[in-house]
Structure 1
Amino acid sequence: MTLLDRDVRAIRPTAPPPPPRRIRPRLDAGDRDVLTLYLFTRVALLLTAYCTAWLFPRDPEAHRPGTFAAVVGQWDWSHYLHIARDGYFPDDPAARPAEWDNREAFFPGFPVLLRALQPLVRDWTATGLLVSLVAGAVACVALGRVARLDLPGLAEGRRTVLLLLVSPCAVFLAVGYTESLFLAFALPAWLAARRHDWRLAALLTAGATTVRVSGLFLAAALVVHFALTARARGELRRLPWLALPALPPVLYSGYLYAHTGDVMAWKHAQERGWYRAFHTPWDAWGTTWDAAFGHGYTTPYALMWQAELVAMAVGLVTVALLVRARRWPEAVYVALSLWALGTSYWYMSVPRATLLWWPLWTGLAAWTARGPRRSAGWLCLSVPLSVVLAVTFFSGRWAG
């Protein structure tokens, strides 16, 4: 992926007049178009899940498909379910796994919301899907508005959201994972920061840090944006608000310390369960390369390691282009994400992380807008990969 100089100049800040402080509470025509796209793609993923259940059952001799809950409730969903249902440290011996599952690695925002809503919905899987459905709608509307700030015009908002919704890992926005909920906090927070509503930006970013540690990367981007754009003494008084996003991780660390005596228990759980101990970036690249091409893993896993390498390369190019365009806050946000993911034993979940890099999708929208061939070429590449990754996930195979 590359952007030409004209595209870079198109998204470079040019000292605009002071932006309005209020975020539009009502849906305009662009928002409605975005939501229409969103609903169409939800139906497409539902159809993909249905077909996968019939075509790729766990038992090749099965005459009935797996349950819908089993098809959509794969991998990390079980961790969120166990936390929401039983807590991090269950007292009931029956709720304790025979082998500890390192559930402390997962931040509490999503499980707490599941626990709060489950009595109303009555089904855990349906609750997770409902949270992702509503949060994804909020995130897409916010992304469309971000794109219209960077790339003026309703069509660019639609284009950016479409590129996200048909991206290779888009399935994770629809299932019981945290990506949609995180974006539902992070993108409105960024919109608020662009309008210099620092209190709202800090509150929303604090919501993001309850969901994923990536919220701290967003908080760092807000600090950079504040330093670059704060214009008056009145705005400088808002600076302490930007410390608020650190509060949820501090409280969570305190909770874990009270139960384990380890203030960094969440980080150490990641190291035990997912090999996220610190390694140099070149060691992480080399280990992932060996896993992808060294024939030590079965072909489905090797293909996923290859996807990790591609996603890391895309992230590095994205950061380079953001630096070139002098979009320092967004560059800090993506760079911190890459540093966290690229300094482990090997790369893991980098393709999923691309969903959270909104500058990537606005940049791609600027690039594909320059001609129908670019747009068609990108969609012909992205849509099949999106279907393949969705089928991979719904059939119970590792999908990043």
Structure 2
Amino acid sequence: MTDERRAGPADLARGRPRAAARLAAAARRVPEPWGFVLAVFVGAKLVLSLVGVLVLAAWDGVPGAPPAAEALMRDQQDAVSSHRWVSLWFAWDSFLYDHLARLPLDRPWPDFGFPLLYPFLARPFAPLLGGHTAWALLLVSNVALVFQLLFAYRLGARLFGGDGPADGRRAVRYLLLLPTAFLFQAALTESLFLCLALAAFWYAERRRWLVVGIVGYFLAMSRSVGFLVVVPLALVLVREHGWRVGPRAWPRLLREGWPLLLVPAGWLTFMAFCRWQAGDWFAYQHTQQTGWGIRLQSPLTVAGSALAGGNSADALRVWLVVAALVVAVVGLRRRADWPYLVYTLVVVLVPLSMGSPVYKSLLRYLLAAFPVALVLARWARRPGLDPWLTAVLALLQGALFAVWLTYWTHLII
């Protein structure tokens, strides 16, 4: 008689705890940040994908779904994948990035509306995925999300330390609880931009300025607002020198912080690409002006017009911006936190100052304000506040996720 046939129910029952113990031991061997980060990433992916498929299935029976304005996008999603848990992560700009990722490089470049880092990163991965550049974009976003969570863990524990790893875990959790944090998993630039921004600040806090400059170079190539992040990064440098900016401090600041010049150099690289391909250093700006009517204006004027216009969606966008700014101003009022307050003001007010259609995507661009999540994580250390804050943010994100998936996509993108 074989061993399998001799094994009785009692032996099998004893085997289950041993297998669980082996799995637990293997999990404990994973370094602390990575084990938690990967578990949260997988958990968020599974929960959001399941909720997304259920929401879309529920809306299939609604008359007129999808509306005519979104029929083309749904066709594009179906072309990416027949599996909804994959295709739901593509919307609007995703298909423009896919277009840029497929454009041949041996002929004049025709499109300058977006910085090129994100679509260009997809190119080397596409052959590994059967030539599917759209899948490669999704891979880039999700790999960036994993590292984004890692840097959020490290930065949260360093800035608001006190509980050690507990602060890092809260920072990761609240970053994923931001109202539109589901977009981190989509084929969009959010996770890549925030991964690079968090990495830049993490290395700045550790005074590794050459690494900061290199990361900042690519940050500036990922989104137009990226080169402005040099300002809060420079404030970290000044803070580390006791806020001394007099003539005697300049030689030391320049000697240590010269790599920060690489941050605006990243955007200059894209401008040079525009000049090389189109003979126009400002082809990006001109494309957005003529194609989408984007022009610089006062953010206060834009916000006031939105509130006075009587449109509830516009009002919701503005009030969420106000809420983010209030959290940042209240939570980052200490001098040591000023670089993060300035960063938040930059990434929130710059999109608001560009008017429509950038203004219409404010709920998307608010995700760049990661210090808001760090402040919420610090506040959540107070007894009794964490579960309530978690519940409110989870419900808000769930509602916005359902809205993004169904009729009102234009509320967010």
Q: C-alpha root-mean-square deviation of aligned residues, in Å?
A: 2.9
- The Cα of 1:244 is off from its aligned counterpart by 0.6
Question: Does the aligned pair in 1 maintain the 2:303–2:352 contact within 8 Å?
Answer: yes
Residues 55 and 78 (structure 1 numbering): CA distance in 2 closer, same or farther, change over 3 Å? same
Answering whether residue 53 of structure 2 is matched by residue 50 of structure 1, we say: yes
SS of residue paired to 1:237? helix
Equivalent position of 1:71 in the other structure: 88
2:139 aligns with one of 122, 125, 130: 130
Distance in 2, Cα, partners of 1:247 & 1:169: 31
Fraction of identical pairs, as percent: 24
- The Cα of 1:217 is off from its aligned counterpart by 2.7
Which AA in structure 2 matches 1:56? Answer: W
- Structure 1 stretches of 5 or more lacking a match? 1-25, 97-102, 295-301
Distance in 2, Cα, partners of 1:273 & 1:88: 23
Equivalent position of 1:108 in the other structure: 116
Which AA in structure 2 matches 1:143? Answer: A
Counting only pairs closer than 5 Å after superposition, residues 296-375 of structure 1 correspond to structure 2 as 302-303=312-313, 305-321=314-330, 324-326=333-335, 327-346=337-356, 347-372=359-384, 374-375=385-386
Question: Does the aligned pair in 2 maintain the 1:117–1:127 contact within 8 Å?
Answer: yes
Question: Does the aligned pair in 2 maintain the 1:322–1:328 contact within 8 Å?
Answer: no
Question: Does the aligned pair in 2 maintain the 1:129–1:175 contact within 8 Å?
Answer: yes
Distance in 2, Cα, partners of 1:337 & 1:58: 39
Residues 281 and 53 (structure 1 numbering): CA distance in 2 closer, same or farther, change over 3 Å? closer
SS of residue paired to 1:333? helix
Structure 1 residues 169-218: Cα deviation after superposition (integer angstroms, max 9, x where no partner): 01110010111111222212111110110001111111211111232232
Question: Does the aligned pair in 2 maintain the 1:169–1:389 contact within 8 Å?
Answer: yes
Q: Flag the structure with larger Rg.
A: 2
Counting only pairs closer than 5 Å after superposition, residues 173-188 of structure 1 correspond to structure 2 as 173-188=184-199
Could you tell me the TM-score, scaled by structure 2's length? 0.78
Answering whether residue 278 of structure 2 is matched by residue 245 of structure 1, we say: no
Answering whether residue 237 of structure 2 is matched by residue 226 of structure 1, we say: yes
Structure 1 residues 36-57: Cα deviation after superposition (integer angstroms, max 9, x where no partner): 1221011111112322332224
Counting only pairs closer than 5 Å after superposition, residues 187-206 of structure 1 correspond to structure 2 as 187-206=198-217
Answering whether residue 248 of structure 2 is matched by residue 256 of structure 1, we say: no
Equivalent position of 2:9 in the other structure: none
Residues 61 and 217 (structure 1 numbering): CA distance in 2 closer, same or farther, change over 3 Å? closer
2:175 aligns with one of 149, 161, 164: 164
Question: Does the aligned pair in 1 maintain the 2:209–2:259 contact within 8 Å?
Answer: yes
Equivalent position of 1:7 in the other structure: none
- Structure 2 stretches of 5 or more lacking a match? 1-28, 66-76, 243-248
Aligned length: 355
Structure 1 range deviating more: 74-83 or 378-387: 378-387
Which AA in structure 1 matches 2:342? Answer: V
Which AA in structure 1 matches 2:410? Answer: W
Which AA in structure 2 matches 1:309? Answer: V
Distance in 1, Cα, partners of 2:104 & 2:114: 12
Could you tell me the TM-score, scaled by structure 1's length? 0.80
Which AA in structure 2 matches 1:367? Answer: W
Equivalent position of 2:42 in the other structure: 39
Answering whether residue 120 of structure 2 is matched by residue 117 of structure 1, we say: no
1:149 aligns with one of 150, 158, 167: 158
Residues 241 and 71 (structure 1 numbering): CA distance in 2 closer, same or farther, change over 3 Å? same
Question: Does the aligned pair in 1 maintain the 2:227–2:266 contact within 8 Å?
Answer: no
Equivalent position of 2:99 in the other structure: 82
Structure number with the bigger relative contact order (C-alpha 8 A, sep ≥ 6) is 1
Structure 1 residues 59-111: Cα deviation after superposition (integer angstroms, max 9, x where no partner): 8489xx9533543221110110111112699769xxx8xxxxxx523110000
Structure 1 residues 310-343: Cα deviation after superposition (integer angstroms, max 9, x where no partner): 2320233144236621222112211222331222
Question: Does the aligned pair in 2 maintain the 1:151–1:366 contact within 8 Å?
Answer: yes
Structure 1 range deviating more: 341-350 or 229-238: 229-238
- The Cα of 1:236 is off from its aligned counterpart by 4.2
Structure 1 range deviating more: 131-140 or 81-90: 81-90
Which AA in structure 1 matches 2:156? Answer: A
